[in-house]
Amino acid sequence: MAVNISKLPIMHPIKGFKLGTTKAEIRYPDRRDLVLMEIASGSAVAATFTNNAFCAAPVTVAKKNLAKVEPRYLLVNTGNANAGTGEQGLEIAKKCCEIVADVAGVNSSEVLPFSTGVIGEQLSIDKFELGIPNAYAELSENGWDAAAHGIMTTDTVPKGVSEVIKIGDKDVVITGISKGSGMIKPNMATMLGYIATDAYIDSPLLQKVLSTAVTRTFNRVTVDGDTSTNDALVLVATAQSAAPQIREESEELELFAQAVERVCKVLAQALVRDGEGATKFITIDVQNCKTEEEAEQVAFTIAHSPLVKTALFASDPNWGRILAAVGRSGVEELEIDKVSLFIGATCLIRNGNPDPQYTEQAGQKEMDHDEITITVDLQRGDAAAQVWTCDFSYDYVKINAEYRS
């Protein structure tokens, strides 16, 4: 059960961006699993992709196409990742782009393909030959809800966010969806995410905004420490708002960048809230480090500890597991007599020693919450970082053990 998310908010349409969703039966019958997104001519597009060396065929094709020309269509399928599929997988990804191009009347290089699902199985092109025309027929600026459902795999809820801001005195809309529940430790973005805005901004500046936001949001979440072969995040700006162009070093850029980061944060945290089998949403806040990288190192060591994650599932205030993770995180010359540790507002360790005011009852009260903050203070600098994760439950093992069945 997802932690404190259950349904989509109001998803404001983006002028110049349409979405069409259909049931192509790529893996399962009677399930929305194919999404086509149409980008108005003249739009700016930015993207980030997985750093996994075994990146999926669609990632390879999408990166090459994006380097050639501004895309006009994004094609997403679930049920099959088209990863680990060799040259045949690459040809299938290219063929999917060609089918979209034939239907929409564009060049195949103007199509970016994306896939998610089981790794190591070949895609059946006939599903796309039938499904793409159907998705094209469903294209609508109001297609966000169906698309959010259409990109889901083991997700239990669709994930979306929509925000309206002012640039000058004109409205600018930012709307986005993401999917991901397991194999989540992005090293760039998320498993799949799509954000669109009607803002007017050029592609290089849009890329800078996206990359900065990703570093502070999607790259700070982890469910299980596994970076997917298929991670991709796309940000489209259609330039169809009446607001003025957003330019470098302007007040409007700062407002826009902050809004994009907020949208990315909601979408990224939603992946953790809906982590496979998750029952708790955990914020790990590491403070007063020498560098931000050091703070991330400590936070991710805690977040990736199976012992910490299972204790969180059990609501067991076994804080020794957290302390041990801090100690093995690799911080050079860590002065343990300066380390303090909190769960929620309750101090466990103060300056390297058990807090004399701590009681097991106080720790248990904090652990019983479904949203928990773990705070670590190293008292060795002024850098900090937050990482978001979830617990490991019985269902995480069950979901992944039965994933291909």
Which are the catalytic amino acids? 190
Cα–Cα distance between 371 and 60 in angstroms, integer?
A: 38
Phi and psi at residue 169, to the nearest 5°? -115, 20
Cα–Cα distance between 269 and 388 in angstroms, integer?
A: 7
Cα–Cα distance between 355 and 343 in angstroms, integer?
A: 12
Residue 276 near residue 154, CB atoms below 8 Å: yes
Cα–Cα distance between 331 and 386 in angstroms, integer?
A: 17
Cα–Cα distance between 200 and 198 in angstroms, integer?
A: 7
Phi and psi at residue 223, to the nearest 5°? -100, -50
Partnered with residue 389 across adjacent β-strands are 282
Nearest to 390 by CA among 321, 310, 326: 310
**Can you point out the beta strands (E) in 205-265?**
232-237
Nearest to 7 by CA among 108, 145, 128: 145
Cα–Cα distance between 168 and 278 in angstroms, integer?
A: 42
